[in-house]
């Protein structure tokens, strides 16, 4: 039987305008959009709330937070995925690229971490095929360049896994995200109870890993992305030279560039710039790097990611809309722009023929209040 849902008396956030109107969903697809405030007897009166496309999240650490809710506490994978899925639905995210680390550290005396990517991907596939997930899940492999097992872990994946994104991570202190060593020390010693000597030994160990594996693992990551058919992303580019290297590798997205110079270079090379919603909301980077608002004012911010706060994605998009004086443009950084960046042409806009991923929200003193989330025509929040 045909399943139809009609929303009326809404503020529809279209690609380049906001109109008062109605929207019709039929069997999971947007089938009609009209202007006006008429509410038919079969329609849901949204009472002037905004309707926008469902949010598209390309990089989030939220699943890892559910996997390890406290230090040294491991949570069952399936339970973590389901909790993560429900949480994202409740923040308006209808498409997520779950960030899963590949590359482990199995030697050294401190901060070892083992592999989990293959098992986690299997659990996501199983839950997706069983239709137990409320939103659309895809896989983002975060390649830790300076790890010991990266090549072996990549070898466990094939094109059949439909990996959406592969990103290159190098968290070695003294460069990229942690150019300021004092910021790195504050971050690490805030997470782990390192003594002075233990901290110094750990930093030395990280430098050894980069020296041993950095160049070869970077090349292997580029190769793996090509073999898996994934969109390649860089991470924490700091200099124009690093961006030029990214462009030569075939990078399409730059996650969290740390300087204006890097963001400018991304623009020149046609690489989409992703910045963190928490950076925008908090007014700056917790690592002391470039502020997202500064890049937005320079027209060098293309996509927002919730990073580590899922609820921040819609909030930051509305904030960007205020900054630019253009709400559709702000919303596009979390809908159309990320969808386009990864080749998802069936979502990201309120258009006839698009997948019916739709969110309903109001504003309270400028802060969005999410009231409903619909994924492929079914209400999930």
- List, in order of start, the domains of the chain with CATH numbers: 54-347 (3.20.20.140)
Q: State the pairing for strand pair 55-60/253-255.
A: unpaired
pLDDT confidence of residue 355: 98
The pLDDT, as a whole number, for residue 117 is: 96
Residue ranges, the chain, pLDDT below 70: 108-112, 172-182, 185-193, 195
- CB crowding 129-144: b at 16 or more within 10 Å, else e: eeeebbbbbbbbbbbb
Q: Are 123 and 133 in contact (CB under 8 A)?
A: no
Closest CA to 277 of 291, 265, 267: 291
pTM over the 0.85 mark = yes
How far CA 361 is from CA of 31, 52, 91, 314, in Å, comes to: 21, 8, 10, 10
The owner of tokens 């097992």 is 149
Instruction: Give, for 75, the enclosing helix (H) or strand (E).
Output: none
State whether the Cα torsion 56-285-210-234 is positive or negative.
positive
CB 213 within 8 A of CB 150: yes
CA dist., res. 341 & res. 318, Å (int): 20
Quick one: pLDDT at residue 25?
Answer: 98
In the numeric block, which tokens belong to residue 156?
């466990």
**How many C-beta atoms surround the C-beta of residue 208 within 10 A?**
12
Per-residue pLDDT at 4 = 96
């Amino acid at each position: 039987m045909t399943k139809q849902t009609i929303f009326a008396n809404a503020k529809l956030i279209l690609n380049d305008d906001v109109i008062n109107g109605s929207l019709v969903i039929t069997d999971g697809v947007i089938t009609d959009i009209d202007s006006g405030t008429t509410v038919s007897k079969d329609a849901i009166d949204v009472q002037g709330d905004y309707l926008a496309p469902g949010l598209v999240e390309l990089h989030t650490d939220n699943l890892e937070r559910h996997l390890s809710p406290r230090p040294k506490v491991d949570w069952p994978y399936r339970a973590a995925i389901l909790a993560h899925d429900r949480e994202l639905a409740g923040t308006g995210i209808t498409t997520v690229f779950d960030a899963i680390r590949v590359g482990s550290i199995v030697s050294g005396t401190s901060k070892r971490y083992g592999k989990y990517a293959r098992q986690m991907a299997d659990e996501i596939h199983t839950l997706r095929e069983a239709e137990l997930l409320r939103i659309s899940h895809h896989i983002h492999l975060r390649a830790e360049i300076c790890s010991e097992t990266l090549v072996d872990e990549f070898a466990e994946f094939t094109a059949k896994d439909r990996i959406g994104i592969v990103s290159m991570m190098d968290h070695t202190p003294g460069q990229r995200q942690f150019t300021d060593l004092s910021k790195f020390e504050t971050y690490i010693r805030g997470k782990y109870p390192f003594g002075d000597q233990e901290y110094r030994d750990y930093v030395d160990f990280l430098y050894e890993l980069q020296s041993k594996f950095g160049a070869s693992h970077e090349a292997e990551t580029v190769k793996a992305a090509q073999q898996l058919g994934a969109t390649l992303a860089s991470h924490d580019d700091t200099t124009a030279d690093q961006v030029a290297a990214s462009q030569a590798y075939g990078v399409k997205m730059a996650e969290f560039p740390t300087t204006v110079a890097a963001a400018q270079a991304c623009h020149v090379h046609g690489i989409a710039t992703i910045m963190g919603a928490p950076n925008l909301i908090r007014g700056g980077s917790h690592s002391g790097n470039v502020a997202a608002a500064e890049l937005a004012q320079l027209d060098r911010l293309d996509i927002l990611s919730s990073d580590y706060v899922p609820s921040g994605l819609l909030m930051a998009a509305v904030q960007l809309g205020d900054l630019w004086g253009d709400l559709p443009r702000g919303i596009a950084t979390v809908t159309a722009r990320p969808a386009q960046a990864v080749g998802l042409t069936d979502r990201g806009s309120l258009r006839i023929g698009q997948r019916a991923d739709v969110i309903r929200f109001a504003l309270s003193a400028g802060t969005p209040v999410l009231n409903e989330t619909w994924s492929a025509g079914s209400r999930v929040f």
